[in-house]
Amino acid sequence: MASISSRRSVMTLFSAADCADSHRVRIVLAEKDITVDVLNINPDDKPDDLAELNPYNTTPTLIDRDLVLYDARIIMEYLDERFPHPPLMPVDPVTRAHSRLALFRIEKDWFSLIADIESGDDKLASQARKILRESVLSAAEVFAIKPYFLSDEYTLVDCTIAPVLWRLPKYGIDVPAKQGKPILKYMERVFSRDGFQQSLSKVEKAIRP
């Protein structure tokens, strides 16, 4: 493993072009303007290097010199600590804990549904699509409280929510103008950020032409 990582002088990210987990890592990299070599791989034809570096053979996988990381949230928090400006997590321990809890809930409640929607099982996908739509719309009041998700500042929580909301058209999920007004305003605010726009792969850009 060390020999493979040592061949790479620049930070490297193994990323799938239409993977929500990879996308949220790319958002963090763009927000912090980190120099990185992004290798967009084909999930059906993964390079041998990836399996040697990551025992789960999954994306995203980050290589930083001799360090190899392969969980999206671990990668995001590492990047935020390694490159502290601009900060994407609160400094206060209590507020930081709330942010981590929000991250946990989004992963548990939304990202698990994405896996079901993309599973290829029509019945499972239909049920997951319905649950995801209801869950997103039920959070409308929360999106209205602050400019960003429960925060005045853009955080890793927003970096995690944005890829899900960006993919709603792909999943056939609509956000009604009246019921979802706070969500639509949030989406406009987050999607217009330079970091978000720079993070998009060609495949992701095509979701919302």
Q: Which of 156, 158, 141 is nearest to 192 (CA)?
A: 158
Residues 159, 88 contacting (CB under 8 angstroms): yes
Give the 3-state secondary structure of residue 16. strand
Strand ranges inside 53-164, DSSP E? 61-64, 67-69
- Sequence-ordered list of residues with C-beta below 8 angstroms from that of 53, at least 6 positions apart, any chain: 1, 4, 5, 14, 61, 63, 68, 70
R_g (Cα) of the chain, nearest Å: 17
Enzyme catalytic residues: 19
